Structure 1
Amino acid sequence: MTPYDEELRAAGLDPDAVRAQVLEALAEDLPGGDVTSEATIAADARGVGVFAAREAGVVAGLGVAALVFHEVMGDTVTVSDRLPDGTHVEPGDVVMRVAGPTRGLLTAERTALNYASHLSGVATATSHWVDALAGTDARVLDTRKTLPTYRALQKYAVRCGGGVNHRFSLSDRAMVKDNHVVAAGGVVPAYEAVRTAYPDLRVEVEVTDLDQLRELLAVGCTEILLDNMDSPTMAEAVRITAGRATLEASGGLTIERAREVAETGVDFISVGALTHSVKVFDLGLDLSEG
């Protein structure tokens, strides 16, 4: 148990899984202790670390960063002035303060920043897409293109940025993609095979042209992904569908096209770049004597 279990659980995260990941991350840095801090800093020295934003954006992962400090220093560390994840910040805004043994603060610093900077980058990137879609009915979705073992945290950060989560795994929802279609002999045989095997599971099918769309609508498919279509074709897909299925646009989309795509009338826009190639958010920690 940690002081952050309830908070993590409320955020839709598994506290035990997050703690295990934090401990693994710390183990990378500490196979033999922090030799530099132990050599240069007195054992009884105390300090205050101030986390501040160095650019505008949305913060996420501050609770995970706080957990890192707790795992290094236990009850000797105090966390204060922590902003809620999902908060929009400007350069210079203080997002969290940590006070405790100086050695421990510097030992935990990089691991804590790695989590908070990366997850804030995901949240910030998501918020840019949300802003681009403002005033339309389309929502931005993440994908399974996440860093291995980081999926729950990255998808949490997407939620902090105002986005919507797609499926978490290969078993909580079926997604029939082009290779499944080839293997099954068509979009309808693939769809019907999944419906037969898993009648209670949600099924989404990827289509590459309007003929496939019409075939799926005729057999009652209610979730369809429009893959790599141009905007006029997507608009025609929306017209043909006429509300009978939700439509997700995907494939090579850029934020510059976001509004154009949303105005075709699609329900969702899925963006792998939210998680697979996101730029880290610039957070810094400045230390002062406590």
Structure 2
Amino acid sequence: MGTADVIPGISSGTIALLTGIYTQLLGAIHSFNKTAFYLFRTCKWKLFWHHIHGNFLLPLGLGITVSLLTTVRLVRYLLAEHPIEIWSFFWGLSIISSIVVYQQIKRISLLTLLLSSIGAFLAYYITQITPLTSSNALWFIFIAGGIAMCAMILPGISGSFILLILGKYAYMLEALEKFDWPILTVFLLGGLLGLLTFSKFIFLLLRTYTGYTIALLAGFMLGSIPKTWPWKALVPAVNTANSIMVEKNISPMDFQVVYQKDPHILQAFLCISLGCLVVIMLKKLGGRKHI
């Protein structure tokens, strides 16, 4: 999940879905309520730890933290030096992930199809928004953290891509690499607020309208697939005053014509296959659990 958080286009919520811990994760976050505050304030540590699912959150949090700190440079290197291969891997991962989640919908109805279509449209629309230029003020960092964390908990919508849209992706990666604690602290506080409020909403939806919520989440994943397409070209953004360049999906043949470079079709196919294999392995590691 930590590695997924670094990639614009891949959601840590997707990884949680595939490994069968999504509902458990939302439930653990949902447990940070008045009861948890009371147990903490009265120093009832054992009850507090049990109430917040500490035995689940501690190893998960450590894994995410270690992964973030150790893979951020590697991911940036791969995206810069081997973009076709790394995006092919994530494209394969996204395709199979969507199929796996759709398989968890027990009963297909007109409403589930409608919700899935809405989710796909929203995710696709979000991934097509032109990146903005933004302030480095702490108040904006706080808001960016809240919005990005809400996206991270949703399968298919990447928190990293939300930061890219808000013009804060490179800025926050640099802060993470340099351990700029004032910036990171403000960002995490905003993220914590967004996570606690939004995750409770999703948790209640899953408990009350399970099938419909899964259909919506699966739609989010489906709509985000075009973002991970391996072959892209930079084109001027439409209807913008500034000369902002955005990515446009193109075919491997067009990529070769535009950039006069080998489109690495064989390598891409192998990486797509590897992405599919990783999803299958994650599914097996997660057992036959539902979300």
Higher relative contact order (CA 8 A, sep 6+): 2
Q: TM-score, normalised by structure 1?
A: 0.27
Which protein has the larger Cα radius of gyration, Structure 1 or Structure 2? Answer: 1
More helix by share: 2
Q: TM-score, normalised by structure 2?
A: 0.27
